[in-house]
């Protein structure tokens, strides 16, 4: 059986989006059914692929892939259509498929203005994000990375509250500026490799050796020594990814955008799109620029710690519950980034696990916040109280999500955060201590939020609200179930990621070693990851 499954995963949502165009605008049910079916079918394929991929990859090399497809694309410049799935992209792709099903279900439960446009854009976004996760060729990756902004732009600009215009333009311009810097870096790398090796290629597996000069650049006339070309190129990538994650000085687009975006967009935007920066850092920046990464890891890890604490403090100072969740997301993304910059197996493995975990948690939290806002008409923490008695089911779901969000042992994000902390400790204990402060603050704002909204005597606005409908419960149930399940059995994620993480870490160190203690969450350490 030789079905190019990865291409199917890429093209399925696209084909569905094309099919949507022939359905009349008034056939609302059909539009919704098609969108949900297409995303669910893509999810079924992806999950099957991930579940059956096992521990050992099919291709050899310093970066090995379990599934890959390669075709000529633009031979003149050596660009290829090279897509691949390995342990790092596998679970994130599974998350990707999941959050888009969630988005499709959420939009089909609402009467959305211009539903057809929304569904089409949602499906296009899925193609683009899946493309980012699957691309091995740098030009192809850039194509999806930048192309992702098109459907996102129309989604964010068309749907959401009245402030969305400004927030969207801010986000797009920030991202484009970062991406263009990355394009320069890609091109520099491409030419350096072309000169050094004599063949033109954008393929990550070909470019691994680098080829960029490690001699410092000197600005002529003024004789100021600056970074080496390799370091400059790394900074181009770092700018693009740091904006997307976002790390603290580049984060200003995030709170505004999260506040204005509708929940059906947020589940996949906060759940996945913002994780693509972290994923791409692991996939491309660490492997292509090992020396530069090792030079800058202290600064980047420091930025990550600043993000953790800044996000947590901002979350503490908000009244708007949606903004609290948005800032908590910033804080948690800082954790993921910290894991990456530790450059050891524990940290990176933790980051990958945490990308998946946090995607699940943040999607659930935004859905819960949206339900609360729908029922009570407010997002002000001070006007909300006593929902526990009115909405016992929501209370239960929110409780699990809260506990998972603050990294409670037995919940999914504990495994990831613990692994990241372990890695941070190996890098330098100070990072672990400061990051630990972020966990303490997370307990504070999450528990305060939960207590304030749920306990206390009901306020006028919360007097007459009813509990969530069964359908809403059915949306939340799998998310909450996963939080508990992955908390108790973190093995499945860790096992698959392990080998790929080791390979990436080895590349990031520039030597073939998998130094560092072996840890893959709380579960038993599986030898399945070894080739």
Partner 1 sequence: MTVLGVLPVLAPPPGIDILGLLPEVILAGGFIVLMMLDLVTAPAQRGWLAVVSVVAVAGAFGATVWCWFDAATPRTVYFGAFAYDRFGLFINAIILVSTALVLMITPQYLNRRGLHYGEYYALILGAATGMMLLAGAGSLMVIFLAIELLSIALYILSGFNRTEPRSQEAAMKYLLLGGFASGFLLFGMALIYGETGHTQLTLIAAAITNGGGTVDPLLMAGIALLFVGLAFKISAAPFHTWTPDVYQGAPTSVTTFMSVTTKVAAFAALIRVFSYTFGEPLIYDRWKIIVYFVAIASMVVGNVAALRQTSLKRVLGYSGIAQGGYILIGVVVLTPAATWGSLYYLASYAVANIGAFAVITVMANRGEDLDSYASLRGLAFRRPYVAAAMGLFLLSLGGFPPTAGFFAKFFVFAAAIGAHELPLALWGIGTSAVSVFYYLRVGLLMYTRPQPDEPSYNWSRTSLSGGGVLALTAAGTLVMGIFVTLVLNIAVSAQNGIVLHG
Question: Interface with partner 1 by CB under 8 A: which residues?
Answer: 73-77, 117, 139, 142-144, 146-147, 149-150, 153-154, 157-158, 165, 168-169, 172-173, 176-177, 180-181, 183-184, 187-188, 190-191, 194
User: CB of 202: closest distance to partner 1 in angstroms?
Assistant: 11
User: CB of 318: closest distance to partner 1 in angstroms?
Assistant: 28
Q: Which strand (E) or helix (H) includes residue 70? A: strand 67-74
Residue 521: name the closest of 433, 422, 442, 425 by CA. 422
**Which tokens hold the place of 470?**
């069964």
C-beta of residue 298 within 8 angstroms of C-beta of residue 356: no
Q: What are the backbone dihedrals phi and psi of residue 162, each rounded to the nearest 5 degrees, phi first?
A: -70, -15
C-beta of residue 102 within 8 angstroms of C-beta of residue 40: no
User: CB of 462: closest distance to partner 1 in angstroms?
Assistant: 33
Which residue's CB is nearer to partner 1, number 78 or number 407?
78
User: CB of 73: closest distance to partner 1 in angstroms?
Assistant: 7
Which residue's CB is nearer to partner 1, number 200 or number 316?
200
Rounded Cα gap, residues 437 and 338, in angstroms = 14
Rounded Cα gap, residues 187 and 278, in angstroms = 21
User: CB of 3: closest distance to partner 1 in angstroms?
Assistant: 22
Which residue's CB is nearer to partner 1, number 2 or number 199?
199
User: CB of 111: closest distance to partner 1 in angstroms?
Assistant: 16
Strand partners, 84: 68
Which residue's CB is nearer to partner 1, number 71 or number 428?
71
Which residue's CB is nearer to partner 1, number 191 or number 485?
191
User: CB of 234: closest distance to partner 1 in angstroms?
Assistant: 16
Rounded Cα gap, residues 55 and 518, in angstroms = 16
User: CB of 82: closest distance to partner 1 in angstroms?
Assistant: 15
C-beta of residue 218 within 8 angstroms of C-beta of residue 226: yes
User: CB of 147: closest distance to partner 1 in angstroms?
Assistant: 4
Which residue's CB is nearer to partner 1, number 181 or number 348?
181
Which residue's CB is nearer to partner 1, number 12 or number 501?
12
Reduced to 3 DSSP states, what percent helix, strand and coil does the chain have, rounded to the nearest 5?
70, 5, 25
Which residue's CB is nearer to partner 1, number 41 or number 169?
169
Tokens 């992702």 -> residue: 148
Which residue's CB is nearer to partner 1, number 144 or number 431?
144
Q: Nearest-5° angle of CA 267, CA 273, CA 274?
A: 100
**Which tokens hold the place of 259?**
């506040």
Which residue's CB is nearer to partner 1, number 138 or number 394?
138
User: CB of 184: closest distance to partner 1 in angstroms?
Assistant: 6
Strand partners, 39: none
Cα(first)–Cα(last) distance of the chain, in Å? Answer: 24
* Contact partners, residue 317, CB within 8 Å, separation at least 6: none
Rounded Cα gap, residues 151 and 211, in angstroms = 35
Which residue's CB is nearer to partner 1, number 158 or number 295?
158
User: CB of 122: closest distance to partner 1 in angstroms?
Assistant: 16
Write down the H helix ranges in 245-320: 253-260, 263-268, 274-280, 286-288, 290-316
**Which tokens hold the place of 322?**
């949606």
Strand partners, 72: 80
Which residue's CB is nearer to partner 1, number 9 or number 424?
9
178: left (phi over 0), alpha (psi -120 to 50) or beta: alpha
* Contact partners, residue 437, CB within 8 Å, separation at least 6: 308, 309
User: CB of 214: closest distance to partner 1 in angstroms?
Assistant: 17
Q: Which strand (E) or helix (H) includes residue 83? A: strand 79-85
């Amino acid at each position: 059986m030789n079905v190019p499954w990865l291409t199917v995963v890429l093209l399925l949502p696209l084909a569905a989006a094309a099919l949507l165009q022939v359905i009349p605008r008034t056939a609302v049910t059909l539009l919704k059914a098609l969108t949900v079916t297409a995303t669910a079918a893509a999810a079924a394929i992806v999950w099957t692929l991930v579940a059956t991929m096992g521990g050992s990859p099919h291709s050899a090399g310093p970066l090995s892939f379990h599934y890959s497809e390669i075709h000529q694309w633009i031979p003149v410049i050596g660009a290829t259509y090279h897509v691949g799935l390995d342990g790092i992209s596998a679970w994130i792709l599974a998350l990707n498929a999941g959050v888009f099903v969630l988005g499709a279900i959420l939009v089909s439960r609402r009467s959305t203005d211009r539903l057809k446009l929304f569904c089409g854009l949602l499906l296009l976004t899925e193609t683009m994000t899946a493309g980012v996760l699957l691309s091995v060729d740098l030009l192809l990756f850039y194509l999806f990375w930048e192309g992702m902004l098109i459907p996102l732009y129309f989604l964010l600009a068309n749907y959401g509250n009245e402030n969305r215009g400004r927030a969207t333009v801010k986000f797009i311009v920030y991202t484009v500026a970062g991406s263009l810097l990355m394009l320069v870096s890609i091109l520099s790398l491409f030419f350096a490799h072309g000169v050094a090796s004599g063949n033109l290629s954008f393929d990550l597996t070909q470019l691994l050796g680098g080829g960029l000069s490690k001699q410092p650049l000197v600005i002529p006339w003024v004789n100021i020594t600056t970074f080496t070309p390799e370091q400059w190129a790394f900074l181009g990538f770092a700018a693009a990814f740091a904006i997307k994650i976002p790390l603290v000085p580049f984060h200003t687009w995030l709170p505004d955008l999260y506040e204005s975006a509708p929940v059906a967009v947020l589940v996949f935007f906060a759940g996945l799109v913002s994780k693509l920066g972290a994923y791409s850092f692991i996939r491309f920046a660490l492997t292509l620029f090992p020396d530069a990464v090792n030079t800058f890891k202290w600064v980047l890890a420091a930025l990550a710690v600043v993000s953790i604490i800044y996000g947590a403090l901002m979350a503490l100072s908000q009244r708007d519950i949606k903004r609290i969740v948005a800032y908590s997301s910033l804080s948690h993304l800082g954790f993921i980034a910290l894991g990456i910059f530790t450059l050891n197996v524990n940290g990176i493995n933790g980051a990958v696990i945490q990308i998946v975990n946090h995607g699940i948690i943040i999607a659930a939290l935004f859905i819960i916040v949206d339900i609360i806002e729908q029922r009570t008409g407010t997002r002000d923490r001070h006007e909300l109280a006593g929902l526990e008695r009115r909405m016992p089911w929501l209370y239960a779901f929110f409780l699990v999500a809260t506990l998972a969000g603050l990294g409670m042992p037995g919940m999914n994000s504990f495994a990831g955060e613990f692994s990241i902390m372990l890695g941070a400790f190996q890098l330098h204990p100070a990072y672990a201590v400061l990051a630990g402060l972020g966990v303490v603050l997370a307990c504070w704002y999450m528990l305060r939020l939960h207590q304030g909204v749920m306990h206390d005597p009901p306020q006028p606005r919360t007097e007459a609200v009813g509990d969530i409908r069964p359908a809403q419960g059915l949306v939340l149930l799998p998310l909450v179930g996963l939080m508990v399940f992955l908390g108790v059995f973190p093995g499945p994620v860790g096992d698959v990621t392990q080998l790929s993480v080791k390979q990436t870490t080895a590349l990031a160190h520039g030597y073939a070693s998998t130094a560092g203690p072996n840890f893959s969450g709380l579960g038993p350490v599986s030898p399945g990851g070894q080739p």
